[in-house]
């Protein structure tokens, strides 16, 4: 086996909704209420329910020189078309040797947080309509334009359990097996994981074989150490910030009642997981006599390995620690078009990290686990596995220009316009200020 023989399925990427996405899927009489793009002070922003939502460029810097990363771009003309156009996305996937991709939303936030907040402040009906429109666009256009390349991932009206269950049934009939869910719903103003409110939801996920996908930052947030701290520190710890939520999920009682339930820690990496499991097992053995946790004959690590999917971008330490995890529940992610993505060289980076593993293990990590857990079969539509490898896809995408595109749309390029001519580390405070003013 060599790099070109790999079959890559990414369980964490992102779509940037095109300007007309919601309008096309709103009821005719309500189209004027749909989320839409407007021009505000030279920036393209979303407007919905009387609120302005900025487009933040770190969501879509793929294809630009790393020196130009920042909260820009702020206009679609500055984006690589593969961020918002499904045909162009598949071209970029081919050039990157990636067969299939699961995509989180952008404007709604990864778990639909903007819709959840609107519902909690009196706009529940408007939020429900927006959720349904997003799901219809995502399934019919994003996933449906070129079948077999996008794994559908839907949003849910989580503030309303009956409507949540109805939307799950509606989407399941169309072949959906993945939902986006806050990593800590309590931090999103919803009942905690341990609340009985979620019991029908856990059951429905099992009945419909839907995986819960919990992206970093959808509940618990990575904290900035101080405003003076170099932003590199925050970027470093951001993936593993989901560890607090992971522990919360791990010690929940519902796993016993729903043995078929599956959830994913999306964009969290894997290198830190062996210690989390070691610590969880120690905590259980050392403290259970007064905490009254009860895993029966099992340990917390056994529950984690059976129920929780993890994923990695470029994680050599994690791959060397697979003996402490379950290789049937580890998947690959490309994180296109975010700033961590290694596009268009994902196969090269990945092969350098895992080439020493047995081919059977490589196949699990790169695609078999994902296809099994997400009930997705791209091989049939593409006429067999031989048409799904890195080499086969790159042959299809040989026409794609992957060279860095500098200064798109006349974009300022001076280190995010933060530091002028002085070349010094960008701080957390400066980044927070940029987000606040975007």
pLDDT at 65: 77
Instruction: Tell me which of 31-35, 384-388, 404-408 is least confident.
Output: 404-408
User: Does residue 337 carry a pLDDT above 50?
Assistant: yes
Is 134:108 a contact under the CB 8 Å cutoff? yes
Q: Which of 157, 172, 150, 171 lies closest to 115, judged by CA?
A: 157
**pLDDT level of residue 17 (50, 70, 90 thresholds):** very high
User: Does residue 398 carry a pLDDT above 90?
Assistant: yes
Tens-place pLDDT, residues 134-173: 999 999 999 999 999 999 999 999 999 999 999 999 999 9
User: Does residue 425 carry a pLDDT above 90?
Assistant: no
**pLDDT level of residue 438 (50, 70, 90 thresholds):** low
Task: Find the mean pLDDT for residues 238-264.
Answer: 96
pLDDT at 143: 98
pLDDT at 56: 65
Burial classification of residue 13, based on how many CB atoms lie within 10 Å of its CB (0-12 exposed, 13-18 middle, 19 or more buried): buried
Determine the Cα–Cα distance for residues 115 and 137; give it in Å rounded to an integer.
Answer: 16
Determine how β-strand 43-48 pairs with β-strand 263-266. Answer: unpaired
- Taking phi first (over 0 means left), then psi (-120 to 50 degrees means alpha), and beta for anything else, what does residue 97 get? left
166 has which bridge partners?
none
Q: Which of 18, 11, 100, 101 lies closest to 60, judged by CA?
A: 18
104 has which bridge partners?
14
pLDDT at 73: 62
Is 194:390 a contact under the CB 8 Å cutoff? no
Query: How far, in whole angstroms, is CA 129 from its chain's centroid?
Result: 23
Domain with 378, as residue range(s), is 3-437
Domain count, the chain: 1
Domain at 86, CATH number: 3.20.20.140
- Exposure b/e, 291-316, CB count within 10 A at least 16 = b: eeeebeeebbbebbbebbbbbbbbbe
Task: Find the mean pLDDT for residues 180-185.
Answer: 98
Q: What is the pTM of this model?
A: 0.94
Tens-place pLDDT, residues 80-136: 999 999 999 999 999 999 999 999 999 999 999 999 999 999 999 999 999 999 999
pLDDT at 423: 62
**What is the chain's mean pLDDT, rounded?**
93
């Amino acid at each position: 086996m060599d790099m070109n023989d790999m079959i890559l399925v990414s369980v964490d990427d992102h779509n940037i909704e095109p300007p007309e996405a919601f309008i096309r899927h709103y009821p005719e009489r309500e189209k004027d209420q749909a989320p839409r793009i407007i021009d505000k002070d030279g920036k393209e922003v979303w407007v919905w329910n009387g609120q302005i939502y900025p487009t933040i460029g770190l969501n879509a810097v793929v294809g630009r020189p790393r020196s130009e990363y920042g909260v820009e771009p702020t206009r679609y003309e500055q984006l690589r078309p593969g961020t918002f156009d499904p045909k162009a996305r598949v071209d970029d996937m081919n050039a990157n040797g990636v067969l299939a991709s699961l995509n989180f939303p952008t404007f709604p936030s990864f778990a639909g947080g903007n819709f959840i907040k609107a519902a909690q402040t009196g706009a529940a009906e408007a939020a429900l309509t927006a959720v349904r429109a997003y799901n219809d666009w995502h399934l019919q256009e994003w996933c449906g334009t070129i079948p077999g390349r996008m794994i559908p991932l839907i949003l849910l009206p989580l503030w309303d359990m009956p409507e949540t269950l109805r939307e799950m049934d509606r989407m399941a009939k169309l072949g959906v097996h993945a939902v986006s869910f806050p990593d800590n719903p309590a931090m999103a103003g919803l009942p905690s994981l341990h609340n009985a409110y979620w019991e029908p939801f856990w059951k429905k996920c099992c009945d419909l074989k839907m995986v819960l996908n919990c992206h970093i930052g959808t509940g618990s947030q990575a904290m900035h150490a101080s405003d003076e701290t170099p932003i590199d520190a925050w970027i470093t710890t951001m993936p593993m910030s989901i560890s607090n939520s992971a522990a919360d999920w791990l010690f929940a009682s519902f796993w016993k009642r729903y043995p078929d339930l599956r959830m994913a820690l999306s964009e969290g990496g894997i290198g830190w997981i062996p210690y989390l499991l070691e610590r969880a097992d120690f905590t259980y053995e050392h403290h259970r006599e007064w905490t009254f946790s009860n895993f029966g004959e099992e340990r917390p690590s056994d529950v984690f390995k059976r129920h929780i999917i993890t994923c990695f971008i470029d994680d050599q330490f994690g791959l060397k620690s697979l003996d402490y995890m379950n290789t049937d529940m580890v998947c690959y992610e490309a994180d296109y078009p975010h700033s961590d993505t290694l596009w268009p060289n994902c196969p090269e980076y990945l092969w350098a990290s895992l080439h020493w593993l047995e081919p059977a293990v490589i196949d699990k990590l790169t695609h078999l686990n994902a296809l099994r857990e997400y009930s997705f079969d791209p091989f049939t539509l593409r006429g067999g596995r031989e048409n799904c490898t890195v080499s086969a896809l790159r042959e299809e995408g040989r026409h794609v220009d992957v060279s860095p595109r500098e200064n798109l749309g006349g974009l300022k390029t001076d280190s995010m316009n933060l530091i002028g001519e002085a070349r010094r580390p960008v701080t957390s405070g400066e980044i927070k200020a940029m987000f606040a003013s975007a």
